[in-house]
Each structure stands twice: as C-alpha cells, then as structure tokens.
C-alpha cells in the first residue's frame, strides 16, 4: 500500500523486530508500532494493533520466528513449544494464524535461521495470493457495478492488497467505473474507519452506510454484488467472518445479489468439517459500550455510548453457511463453496 507517497506492508520484520501499522489509531493517525519480542507481537495481535486474517497470520509467523531467536540453546525446544501455544492463544478464530505458526514452528525445530526464512516466505506468499485474488475477482466485476463490503479485508487485513478489496482495486486500476458501499461494521467500525480510509487513499468513489441498511439498499437494486473476506473456511464451505456477514448473505439470497467470499487457500481449515467446528471469539464488552473518535479539538477520545450500567454481548464473528455463498475467490480461481470443490482445490496446493 502507498501512504503519503511511501510504500508500506501492513506488517514486516527487520533484525527480529516486527513493525506493524497501528490500526487502532486509524484513520485519525498513521503510526508504526514496534514489537521487539514475541510477547510484544502477541500483544499486538491480541489488542488488534494488527487484525485481519492474513496480517494476523504473518504477524504470528514473525512472532514464532522471534521466539526461536530469543530461545536459549539449553532450553530451546521447551521455549519454542511454550511460545507456540502462547501465540496460538492470542486469537482463536483466524485460521491463518495457526497455519503460519505451525509452519514457522516446524522450521524452528530445524534452526533459528530456517524459522526466519519461513516467516518471510509466508508474508511474501500472502502478498502474491492477495494480488492474484484481485485479478481473479476482477473478472466478476462489470463496469458500473455497485459493490457492498463488510468489515475490512483490504491492505490492512493482509500483508498487502487484501482479499475482498483486492478485486476492487484491480477493477479501479483497469479503468472500470465502480462504486463501493462500505458497511460501518459495528462495534469496532473496521468498515467506517479502515475500509473507507483505504478507498479514499485509492480515490475510489464510496460511501459509508449503517450496518442495518443492507436490506434497503438491495431492495432498491443499488447493489450489484457483495464481496467479503474470511477468517476461516470449513471443509464444507461454511465461512467464519466478521459478525454481521451472515445477515448480509441471507439478504443477498433474498434479493438475488451475488455474494462472494475472497480468501487465500491457507484460510481453509480441512480439520473443521463444518462451520459448527469453528471457534467463535467473544471479545470484551467495552468494544460495544464505548466508541473512540476525535473531538472538535482533534483529540482522540473514548466515550461511553450506551446506557450506563448495562452489559453487552460481543461475538466477533459469525458463520455463513455454504448455501448462501455464490463462490469463493482464491488465488487458484473461483470455486464453489462445497466440500468436493474445496478438497479438489486444496489438493492442488
């Protein structure tokens, strides 16, 4: 991604220090966070300094490499095994985290140097897959299309390019006239804060809409297609994504709007037979009760926006059954959300 004329990845590592775009401050402030130890990188994942399936995966891979580098020779195996468990416990739903940690851990069992190489390889693969997803998804987008998004699955959710937004960027750069309706995506506002910020950087026409405006927009025939990302895809094609995705898929079927999921094959968890096997993260209620923004003086503030004394329920993800999904856009092509097709495509990896 390019910010103020300079190219950035969402997360990268230099000399065993992990650098991450501080996403909790966007769009009000652009700052790079430095995680000097694997525990600091774990905290960055846990507190959503970095978020999004691919970016979490890359950060987790880097954390595993950091742990290998920090380990003392006499307790090396015990240290990296303990670190692996700690990293995996930072976020329970995103499959890319577990995929990356396992790969780097296996490399670390050979040597520290191999762990570092493997972590970089995972990040580079993420960029390549996201770029190709953009090319494959662009084939679905016609000139003049209005596209609805949910949450953020762009630059910031992956190492670069993204998944759901990658076809949008490719379409825009190829000269297609497109417009994006951006779900605000409560409670953290990743659409209103992150997706809108990205689209503004790319000069793509867009507007932020309330999460509950989907039915109205589709009934007015203002939406030609929906593209969302995925945090984990089950073997049968069920998809875990940001809370509210399921609602959009149901509405899309009702109004005959194509509903696509964009994700690399690494997001597919063959050990999860159906969406029922995917763990759903429940986050702190304060994300619902409080909102962060800037006041009239430009100062970043957190304020209570709900009834004082009331509690809140905060599931971070929901499961969209395969029957609602028009197709899954992967780096290997667009596949039907079915167990037969997923097994076939995974075999090609």
Mean pLDDT, contiguous 10-residue spans, the chain (349 residues) = 90 97 95 98 97 96 98 97 97 93 98 98 97 98 98 96 97 97 97 97 96 97 98 97 98 98 95 96 96 90 96 98 97 92 80
Q: How far apart are CA 226 and CA 220, in angstroms?
A: 15
Nearest to residue 99, comparing CAs of 342, 273, 318, 268? 268
Give the residue numbers marked as catalytic: 231
φ/ψ of 199, rounded to 5, equals -65, -35
Q: Which residues contact 121 (CB under 8 A, 6 or more apart)?
A: none
CATH number of the structural domain spanning residue 173 = 3.40.50.10470
Are 277 and 259 members of one domain?
yes
Are 318 and 188 members of one domain?
yes
What pLDDT shows up at residue 341? Answer: 86
**Model's pTM, two decimal places?**
0.94
Are 258 and 167 members of one domain?
yes
End residue of a domain, out of 130, 155, 188: 130
Q: How far apart are CA 207 and CA 182, in angstroms?
A: 6
Nearest to residue 166, comparing CAs of 1, 30, 322, 336? 1
Are 174 and 36 members of one domain?
no
Peptide bond into 174 cis (omega under 30): no
> Which residues on neighbouring strands pair with residue 19, listed in sequence order?
12, 34
Are 119 and 227 members of one domain?
no
Are 62 and 171 members of one domain?
no
Q: How far apart are CA 129 and CA 330, in angstroms?
A: 8
Residue 33's alpha-carbon distances to 97, 165, 171, 183, in angstroms, are 19, 24, 32, 27
What pLDDT shows up at residue 148? Answer: 98
Are 196 and 310 members of one domain?
yes
Are 66 and 122 members of one domain?
yes
What pLDDT shows up at residue 53? Answer: 92
What pLDDT shows up at residue 1? Answer: 85
What pLDDT shows up at residue 4? Answer: 84
Q: How far apart are CA 272 and CA 274, in angstroms?
A: 6
End residue of a domain, out of 130, 162, 194: 130
Q: And the tokens for 212?
A: 């509950």
End residue of a domain, out of 130, 156, 180: 130
Are 77 and 209 members of one domain?
no
Its domain, for residue 179, covers 139-347
What pLDDT shows up at residue 5? Answer: 85
Q: Number of structural domains, the chain?
A: 2
Are 174 and 321 members of one domain?
yes
């Amino acid at each position: 991604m390019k910010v103020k004329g300079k190219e950035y990845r969402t997360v990268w590592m230099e000399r065993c220090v992990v650098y991450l775009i501080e996403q909790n401050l966007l769009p009000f402030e652009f700052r790079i966070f430095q995680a000097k130890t694997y525990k600091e990188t774990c905290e960055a994942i846990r507190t959503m300094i970095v978020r999004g399936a691919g970016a979490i995966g890359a950060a987790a891979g880097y954390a595993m490499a950091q742990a290998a580098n920090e380990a003392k020779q006499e307790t090396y195996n015990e240290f990296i095994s303990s670190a692996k468990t700690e990293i995996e416990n930072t976020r329970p739903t995103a499959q890319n985290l577990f995929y990356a940690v396992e790969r780097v851990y296996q490399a670390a069992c050979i040597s520290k140097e191999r762990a570092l190489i493997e972590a970089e390889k995972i990040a580079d693969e993420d960029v390549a897959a996201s770029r190709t997803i953009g090319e494959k998804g662009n084939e679905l987008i016609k000139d003049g299309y209005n596209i609805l998004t949910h949450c953020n699955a762009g630059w910031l959710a992956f190492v670069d390019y993204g998944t759901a937004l990658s076809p949008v960027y490719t379409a825009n750069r190829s000269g297609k006239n497109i417009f994006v309706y951006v779900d605000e995506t409560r409670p953290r506002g990743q659409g209103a804060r992150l997706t809108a910020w990205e689209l503004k950087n790319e000069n793509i026409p867009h507007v932020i809409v309330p999460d509950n405006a989907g039915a109205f927009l589709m009934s007015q025939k203002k939406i030609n297609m929906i593209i969302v990302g995925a945090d984990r895809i089950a073997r049968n094609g069920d998809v875990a994504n940001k809370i509210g995705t399921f609602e959009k898929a149901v509405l899309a079927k009702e109004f005959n709007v194509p509903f696509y999921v964009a994700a690399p094959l690494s997001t597919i968890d063959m050990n999860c037979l159906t969406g029922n096997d995917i763990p759903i993260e429940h986050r702190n209620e304060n994300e619902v009760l409080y909102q962060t923004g800037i006041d009239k003086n430009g100062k970043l503030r957190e304020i209570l926006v709900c009834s004082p004394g009331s509690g809140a329920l905060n599931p971070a993800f929901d499961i969209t059954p395969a029957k609602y999904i028009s197709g899954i856009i992967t780096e290997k092509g667009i596949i039907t959300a079915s167990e037969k097709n997923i097994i076939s495509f995974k075999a090609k990896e």
